[in-house]
Amino acid sequence: MTALAATTRTRGSAYFRLAKLDILDYYLGVVVVWTLLVPALRFDAGVLTTTGVFLLGEVFVIAAMVALDDLTGYRDGSDVTNYSPDDPARRRYRKPLVAGTLTEDQVLRFAQVTGVVGALLWLAAIAIAPHTPLWTVVLIAVTYFFSLQYSWGVKLSYHGFQEFFIAGLGWALVLAPYGLATGAVDGFVLAQALLFGLGPLLFGVYSNTNDVVGDRSVGRPTVAALTSPRGNMVFVIAVSAAELALVLAVPVLGGPWWFPLALLPTIALRARQVWIGFARHDILRARKLGIRIHRITVLALVVVNLVVWT
């Protein structure tokens, strides 16, 4: 391998890590959307094309969002603190700026390019969509704006809205493509969107618990940074309980009576997550379990939808 090829490969890997392309959890929303569609729409050319273009735009928008988040975290010092060399549980190579594999200018240019491409793709999805209700168009526009402003510009996550945004992004990434495909939502779809968004939140809050020192040092007001350890624990348990309540309410919202039974793995593992995080005090293990729980939940939703819409 030539020196140029080796450099290109190394830089490509750095951009891959910068975009967090190995974290697929938000992208799984389109799978949930596809299974929520009635069988006649699942292979409709217009729906498939629209959903595919929306997903591709989603990849670019999220890449821009996380790149700007890394840039801000590097500049204010929180990432350097949270990914310090004496913390072997946090892998510095996942943060190219901290690891020194990319420069600030490279990260900023990457965010600018991916942000523009993401906007163009979402506009294209709206232009070719079978349905374009106003609420869906507004939702996409708001999602785009606040994604790029999450840690940049107005720095939404630095004003106490981080947890809401993490969940809200998941909600939007289900409701928006579903709206483009069908033009409307019902209680069952809304409930699944809410459950989907709670998944990233319920591993994000464990990350915030681990990052509390760095976040406090730069004034990033996560719940973990603003409250005591006990207060943060109560918050995490409350969000977990809200997820359980939503699961139990789905039959009332138009889902099948057996929906809570299908989500039993999620319910059981969520209790284990709380126990690992706050009884065993193994926060990063609880976070890792949270990622798995989200994916198990998505699988359960897919199975439920395929059974309901056969």
Question: What confidence tier does 217 reach under pLDDT thresholds 50, 70, 90?
Answer: confident
Per-residue pLDDT, 99 = 84
Q: For residue 90, is pLDDT > 60? A: no
Q: Residue type for 213, please?
A: V
Q: Helices 104-128 & 162-182, crossing angle to 10 degrees?
A: 30
Taking each helix axis from N to C end, the angle separating 264-274 and 187-210, rounded to the nearest 10 degrees, works out to: 20
48 phi and psi, to 5 degrees? -65, -40
Please spell the DSSP secondary structure of 76-127, one letter per residue.
HSHHHHHT-TT-TTS-GGGSHHHHTSS-HHHHHHHHHHHHHHHHHHHHHHHH
Please tell me the distance from the alpha carbon of residue 98 to that of residue 171, in angstroms, as a whole number: 31
pLDDT at 6: 47
In angstroms, what CA-CA distances link 186 with 38, 129, 147, 193? 13, 19, 26, 11
pLDDT at position 58: 98
Closest-CA residue to 140 (of 182, 110, 169) = 169
DSSP 221-280: --HHHHS-HHHHHHHHHHHHHHHHHHHHHGGGGTS-TTHHHHTHHHHHHHHHHHIIIIIS
Of the ranges 10-24, 70-84, 228-242, the best mean pLDDT one: 228-242
In this predicted model, which residue has the larger pLDDT, 195 or 310?
Answer: 195
| Residue 85 scores a pLDDT above 60 | no
List Cα–Cα distances, 105 to 18, 71, 110, in angstroms: 13, 9, 8
How far apart, in whole angstroms, are the C-alpha atoms of residue 188 and residue 253?
6
Residue ranges of domains in the chain, CATH in brackets = 16-185 (1.10.357), 186-309 (1.20.120.1780)
Taking the C-alpha atoms of residue 171 and residue 228, their distance in angstroms, rounded to an integer, is 29
Q: What is the pLDDT of residue 169?
A: 96
- pLDDT at 89 (0 to 100): 47
Largest CA distance in the chain: 63
Residue identified by tokens 């490509």 is: 12
Query: Which of 285, 299, 269 is CA-nearest to residue 206?
Result: 285
> Could you tell me if residue 217 is left (phi over 0), alpha (psi between -120 and 50 degrees) or otherwise beta?
alpha
Backbone φ/ψ region at 160: left (φ over 0), alpha (ψ -120 to 50), beta: left
Residue 92's pLDDT band, with cuts at 50, 70 and 90, is: low
How far is CA 301 from its chain centroid?
17
Residue 9, pLDDT above cutoff 70:
no
**Residue 305: which pLDDT band, with cuts at 50, 70 and 90?**
very high
Q: What is the residue whose two structure tokens read 């603003």?
A: 226
Amino acid 235: pLDDT: 97
Instruction: Please state, in angstroms and rounded to a whole number, the distance separating the CA atoms of residues 216 and 223.
Output: 10
Query: If pLDDT is split at 50, 70 and 90, which confidence band does 4 have?
Result: very low
Q: According to the model, what pLDDT value does residue 7 have?
A: 53
| Residue 91 pLDDT > 80 | no
Average pLDDT over residues 209-217: 87
Rounded Cα distance between 77 and 93, Å, is 16
Cβ count within 10 A of residue 169: 22
The mean pLDDT value for 241-245 works out to 98
Residue 70 in this model has a pLDDT that exceeds 70: yes
Average pLDDT of span 109-136: 98
pLDDT band for position 166 (50/70/90)?
very high
Q: Are 96 and 102 in contact (CB under 8 A)?
A: yes
pTM over 0.85, yes/no: yes
Predicted confidence at residue 219, as pLDDT, reads: 83
In percent, the amount of the chain with pLDDT more than 70 equals 93
Model confidence pLDDT, tens digit, residues 12-53: 889 999 999 888 999 999 999 999 999 999 999 999 999 999
